[in-house]
Amino acid sequence: MRRVLSKYTLLLFLFFIVVSYSMHANPLQANAGADRTVCPGFETLIGGSPAAQFGYPPYQYSWSPSTGLSSTTISNPIVSPTSLITYTLTVTDDSGYVATDVVIVEMSYIYYQNAGKDETICINQEVLLGGAGNAPAPNVTFAWQPSAGINDTTLPRPLAQPLVTTTYTLTINQSGCSTKVSTKTVTVLDLHVLAGDDQIINEGETTTLHATGAVNYFWYPTATLTYATTANPNAEPKDTTVYFVTGYDINFQCSDTDTMRVFVKKGNDIYFFNTFTPNADGENDTWYIGNIYKYPDNTLDIYTRNSKLVYHADSYLNTWDGKSYGIDLPAATYYYVLDLGEGSDKYHGTVTIIR
């Protein structure tokens, strides 16, 4: 009886040695399963079959991140992803040994297809529809609406030439996935810039031009203009002149050009400006007297209200910048006496400096 018991004990001992060796010869393995591809809005099962083996069971499971998982502590959770994501499975056996594995859950082809970002174009320009990732693929169809102005409504990225602002709808179908609908709005800018009516002025006078139809304006030729980058510049032509204006939208993307003519009636009359702004901004910085260049023998004197002489010029040619012997005069109204040097009556009046 002792001999039989001893053999049984020996066999049992040997069995545990073999099992123990087998456990150590095959350490714990984690299996997160094969990578998956999922349609948007669908779900799938992750984790191997089995998700853990060898080592010392029972096993503890931990999945991360938790995004889209039905559970983070079971071997095979359900995943409902909203974008490409990599999950890590961590398995811990009864001895405390840890093993890890990863699985990538990729979104199906249809997830990356869309109508593209909204755009703004100029009238008569073409625009490319569809997102940058759009491309032909097996078992995938594309359909664009409305069809007007599109070169091919079945292409992933067709060309369109809308004449008015249009919202395009793209319907995408992929086998095994739900239909996807995406939209893109193309805003069409159609500028109609008008330079205004032709005008007639006397030589020496100024006139204000009036442009409409845009946000930013550039008038030329600029030699006889002030505020040439506004909708309403002042024109001071000595001769009949054709002015051009180019208007742009707020982002300087689209433009249009128009012209108008200022007819100048020749004459020798003198025209006085009653204000000027000597602030060195390049516009209206000096006192302007229309046609003064025709009287080179003129003499000009400027006085304060107390009759103090603050400026004198012989052969004045629109150069007074509001200074008195190099010093800025304060904003105020001053009095002028202009002698054209022809024996005619002198001109008297006021001019105001604005600062």
Check which CATH number belongs to the domain holding 345 and give it: 2.60.40
As a whole number, mean pLDDT of residues 289-302 equals: 95
Residues 70 and 117 in one domain: no
- Tell me the percentage of the chain whose pLDDT exceeds 70: 93
In a domain, 214, yes or no: yes
Residues 285, 318: Cα–Cα separation, whole Å: 10
Q: With cut-offs at 50, 70 and 90, classify the pLDDT of residue 12.
A: low
Q: What is the pLDDT of residue 344?
A: 82
Question: Judging by beta carbons within 10 Å of its beta carbon (0-12, 13-18, 19+), is residue 26 exposed, middle or buried?
Answer: exposed
Residues 156 and 216 in one domain: no
Residue with the larger pLDDT of the pair 20 and 95: 95
Residues 177 and 205 in one domain: no
In the predicted structure, residue 1 carries a pLDDT above the cut 80:
no
Residues 306 and 335 in one domain: yes
| pLDDT averaged over every residue in the chain | 92
In a domain, 340, yes or no: yes
Residue with the larger pLDDT of the pair 11 and 41: 41
Residue with the larger pLDDT of the pair 227 and 260: 260
CATH, residue 14? 2.60.40.10
Q: From 84, 107, 130, give the residue that closes a domain.
A: 107
Residues 89 and 24 in one domain: yes
Given a contact cutoff of 8 angstroms between Cβ atoms, the answer to whether 320 and 313 are in contact is yes
Residues 10 and 92 in one domain: yes
pTM of the entire predicted model: 0.67
Type of residue found at 176: G
Residues 203 and 170 in one domain: no
pLDDT in tens, 164-207: 999 999 999 999 999 999 999 999 999 999 999 999 999 999 99
Type of residue found at 81: P
Q: What is the pLDDT of residue 13?
A: 56
In the predicted structure, residue 330 carries a pLDDT above the cut 90:
yes
pLDDT in tens, 104-138: 999 999 999 999 999 999 999 999 999 999 999 99
Q: With cut-offs at 50, 70 and 90, classify the pLDDT of residue 282.
A: confident
Token digits for 266?
Answer: 């020749």
As a whole number, mean pLDDT of residues 49-61 equals: 96
Q: What is the pLDDT of residue 345?
A: 86
Residues 260 and 278 in one domain: no
Report the DSSP beta bridge partners of residue 200. Answer: 263
Residues 4, 18: Cα–Cα separation, whole Å: 21
Domain region containing 302: 271-353
Q: What is the pLDDT of residue 14?
A: 53
Residue carrying structure tokens 């010869």: 25
Q: With cut-offs at 50, 70 and 90, classify the pLDDT of residue 2.
A: very low
21: helix, coil or strand? helix
Q: How is residue 69 annotated by DSSP? A: B
Number of domains in the chain: 4
Residues 141 and 127 in one domain: yes
Q: How is residue 108 annotated by DSSP? A: P
In a domain, 12, yes or no: yes
In a domain, 146, yes or no: yes
Residues 169, 120: Cα–Cα separation, whole Å: 17
Residues 140 and 100 in one domain: no
Q: From 79, 107, 135, give the residue that closes a domain.
A: 107
In a domain, 194, yes or no: no
Token digits for 149?
Answer: 């102005």
Q: From 76, 107, 138, give the residue that closes a domain.
A: 107
Type of residue found at 334: Y
Residues 183, 122: Cα–Cα separation, whole Å: 20
In a domain, 22, yes or no: yes
Token digits for 117?
Answer: 């970002």
Exposure pattern of 223-249 as b/e (b: 16+ CB <10 Å)? ebbbbbebbebbbbbeeebebebbbbb
Q: What is the pLDDT of residue 10?
A: 56
In a domain, 246, yes or no: yes
In a domain, 342, yes or no: yes
Residues 25 and 78 in one domain: yes
Residues 74 and 101 in one domain: yes
